[in-house]
Amino acid sequence: MTSTVVSPEEFAAGMERHYVAGADDARKVTVGLQPESRFADIYAEFAHLYTHEQLEALGEARAAATDPVERDRLNRLWFEAADAVAAGDVVQAAQDLMNERLAWRADFDGEPQSLNALLALISSEPDFERRAAIYELVCQADEEFAERDVELNARSQELRTLVFGLDGEIAIANARMGIDVQRFSDQINAVSERTAAHYAEQADRLFPELLGRDEQHPSRAHAGYLRSLHQWDHVFTRERMAEVCERTLDELGFPLDRIPTILPDLEDRPDKDPRACVIPVRVPEEVHLIVRPTGGLTDYGAFLHEAGHALHFGLTSDQLPFEHRYVAPDNALTEIYSYVVERITHEPLWHQRHFGLSREDAELVVAQNSFIDASLFRRYGAKLAYELEFWADPRDPRNPQRYADRLSAATRMTYPTSQFASDMDAGLYAADYLRAWRTSEQVIAWLRGEHGEEWFCNGKAADFLRELFVQGSVPSNEDVSRQIGSSADDFDDLIAHLSA
Ligand SMILES: [Zn+2]
């Protein structure tokens, strides 16, 4: 195959076509409409773009750029191109592994079940022992795939080290995110420590209460079930979910029926991934908001979280270039928006308005929901610390135990070793979530100060949010923090939320 080096503009146009095709494929697999992923086959159609010569040419164009906006665009394009060049030798292995995971089946209740089906079942299964049995099967799958997960990660890191000219995933993340990830992880650990006693007190009381049995350190098997707060299912019914969430967005100032670029998919298909997500196939024209309802308050939270992303992508200016509209150096910006919208479910007033709960009951649900949020924050803090250890040496045989120890200690749940290689998101995404945890609390405190307790239902937050959404991926997470007079080193609002 002969390759020719193209201009940065032509490269960006080609890459956008690749991303649109890839996102369309990912959507069909995620929502359970297509049994196998084809991302390596799609990559092959665009592989002529991803050569070392092309990457070098983009690097030269970046070095020659004098205008800061132009330079930023070319820098983003270079990072995306480096990702793609480094993926060339592992993309087929990654697709094969993913498709084997999708094809994996285990018998439960006499029926062969996919991993996605088991993960959807476990969150709504009311029986304690049956949840433990389902989790056993999920862990078996993770054990079967662990060695190949590790090899793929290790090999990928070796290739990326060469292509980026940086020392491994942590150095690449530092350069891409523009922060010192290790320092940030240390700051998060300090927040976890400062709020540990309060969390322990809540855990001692709430784990037994929510599970209906005397479990001080429940297995992770019960995490999804706990998170759903099922004792309130009669209030947060599946039937009312779409209607209430749409009304909530309307009151925030964003009527979905007037934003035709956002396409909700709330169907319950057997092989649909139960982890809610947004897949922007075209930005801003085609943004899929994907939720698989499993019952309970968690569905409302998931819908609103994803709606925050969908509003961001769906309201991004179509005048922006690919690099500021479709790609971002990380996900820490868009996660601010999802957290802010999801946090509406932490407002007692929201529960009173939409569900007719008394103030007392509303505060009870919110307290339980805040405990779940704190357990997730602690989980992600521990995950980031663990992932930094993992990337220092993916093949280190101590990694499974480190994973189980760190996650169990932080959450006061019992984590097995078997998910040490599967419970990871690409690109140190845990850091993006944690940056958003910090900044979204700053934003909510600021919105409350500016627009009062009713900030989420008086339409007054919409102008501020819309102004941010229009800018696509241009600002960084930390820019938003600075814009409201806060700073990236200010964790006070987060600590206040975690101490509530
Ligand atoms: Zn998100």
Q: Give me ligand 1 centre to Cα 376, in Å.
A: 13
Q: Give me ligand 1 centre to Cα 438, in Å.
A: 14
Q: Give me ligand 1 centre to Cα 110, in Å.
A: 35
Residue 165 Ramachandran class (φ > 0 left, ψ -120 to 50 alpha, else beta): left
Neighbours of 408 (CB within 10 A): 17
> Quick check: 425 and 145 in contact, CB under 8 A?
no
**Hey, where are the domains in the chain?**
8-103, 182-498
CA-based nearest residue to 72, from 476, 484, 478, 487: 476
Residue 201: partners with Cβ closer than 8 Å, 6 or more residues away = none
Report how far residue 358's alpha carbon sits from residue 159's, in angstroms, rounded to the nearest whole number: 58
What are the tens digits of pLDDT across the range 2-33?
568 999 999 999 999 999 999 999 999 999 99
Q: Give me ligand 1 centre to Cα 433, in Å.
A: 8
pLDDT of residue 50: 98
Q: Give me ligand 1 centre to Cα 178, in Å.
A: 20
Q: Give me ligand 1 centre to Cα 162, in Å.
A: 30
pLDDT of residue 274: 84
Report how far residue 66's alpha carbon sits from residue 278's, in angstroms, rounded to the nearest whole number: 35
Q: Give me ligand 1 centre to Cα 351, in Å.
A: 23
Q: Give me ligand 1 centre to Cα 31, in Å.
A: 17
Query: What is the pairing mode between strands 262-265 and 277-282?
Result: unpaired
pLDDT of residue 2: 57
Q: Give me ligand 1 centre to Cα 486, in Å.
A: 22
User: Residue 421: is it exposed, middle or buried by C-beta count within 10 angstroms (0-12/13-18/19+)?
Assistant: buried
Q: Give me ligand 1 centre to Cα 428, in Å.
A: 14
Q: Give me ligand 1 centre to Cα 469, in Å.
A: 15
Q: Give me ligand 1 centre to Cα 303, in Å.
A: 10
CA-based nearest residue to 123, from 223, 255, 256, 237: 223
Q: Give me ligand 1 centre to Cα 459, in Å.
A: 23
Q: Give me ligand 1 centre to Cα 335, in Å.
A: 5
> Quick check: 310 and 262 in contact, CB under 8 A?
yes
CA-based nearest residue to 333, from 312, 319, 314: 312
> Quick check: 262 and 287 in contact, CB under 8 A?
yes
Report how far residue 305's alpha carbon sits from residue 278's, in angstroms, rounded to the nearest whole number: 9
pLDDT of residue 33: 94
Cis geometry, peptide bond prior to residue 284 (ω within 30 degrees of 0):
yes
> Quick check: 313 and 326 in contact, CB under 8 A?
no
Q: Give me ligand 1 centre to Cα 76, in Å.
A: 21
> Quick check: 387 and 428 in contact, CB under 8 A?
yes
pLDDT tens-digit profile, the chain (500 residues): 556 899 999 999 999 999 999 999 999 999 999 999 999 999 999 999 999 999 999 999 999 999 999 999 999 999 999 999 999 999 999 999 999 999 999 999 999 999 999 999 999 999 999 999 999 999 999 999 999 999 999 999 999 999 999 999 999 999 999 999 999 999 999 999 999 999 999 999 999 999 999 999 999 999 999 999 999 999 999 999 999 999 999 999 999 999 999 999 999 898 898 888 999 999 999 999 999 888 899 999 999 999 999 999 999 999 999 999 999 999 999 999 999 999 999 999 999 999 999 999 999 999 999 999 999 999 999 999 999 999 999 999 999 999 999 999 999 999 999 999 999 988 899 999 999 999 999 999 999 999 999 999 999 999 999 999 999 999 999 999 999 999 999 999 999 999 98
Report how far residue 265's alpha carbon sits from residue 277's, in angstroms, rounded to the nearest whole number: 10
Q: Give me ligand 1 centre to Cα 338, in Å.
A: 6
pLDDT of residue 490: 98
Give me the CATH topology for the region 182-498: Neurolysin; domain 3 (1.10.1370)
Q: Per residue, what are the HEC states of the chain?
A: CCCCCCCHHHHHHHHHHHHHHHHHHHHHHHCCCCCCCCHHHHHHHHHHHCCHHHHHHHHHHHHHCCCHHHHHHHHHHHHHHHHHHHHCCCHHHHHHHHHHHHHCCEEECCEEECHHHHHHHHHHCCCHHHHHHHHHHHHHHHHHHHHHHHHHHHHHHHHHHHHHCCCHHHHHHHHHHCCCHHHHHHHHHHHHHHCHHHHHHHHHHHHHHHHCCCCCCCEHHHHHHHHCCHHHCCCCCCCCHHHHHHHHHHHHCCCHHHCCCEEEECCCCCCCCCCCEEEEEECCCEEEEECCCCCCHHHHHHHHHHHHHHHHHHCCCCCCCHHHHCCCCCCHHHHHHHHHHHHHHHCHHHHHHHHCCCHHHHHHHHHHHHHHHHHHHHHHHHHHHHHHHHHHCCCCCCHHHHHHHHHHHHHCCECCCCCCCCCCCHHHHHHHHHHHHHHHHHHHHHHHHHHCCCCCCCCCCHHHHHHHHHCCCCCCHHHHHHHCCCCCCCCHHHHHHHCC
Q: Give me ligand 1 centre to Cα 78, in Å.
A: 25
Report how far residue 412's alpha carbon sits from residue 173's, in angstroms, rounded to the nearest whole number: 29
Q: Give me ligand 1 centre to Cα 75, in Å.
A: 24
pLDDT of residue 3: 65
User: Residue 48: is it exposed, middle or buried by C-beta count within 10 angstroms (0-12/13-18/19+)?
Assistant: middle
Q: Give me ligand 1 centre to Cα 205, in Å.
A: 29
What token pair was written down for 243? 């209607």
Report how far residue 108's alpha carbon sits from residue 137's, in angstroms, rounded to the nearest whole number: 9
Residue 126: partners with Cβ closer than 8 Å, 6 or more residues away = 225, 230
pLDDT of residue 431: 98
Q: Give me ligand 1 centre to Cα 343, in Å.
A: 12
> Quick check: 381 and 498 in contact, CB under 8 A?
no
Q: Give me ligand 1 centre to Cα 397, in Å.
A: 31
CA-based nearest residue to 367, from 498, 194, 188: 498
Q: Give me ligand 1 centre to Cα 248, in Å.
A: 18
Q: Give me ligand 1 centre to Cα 277, in Å.
A: 7
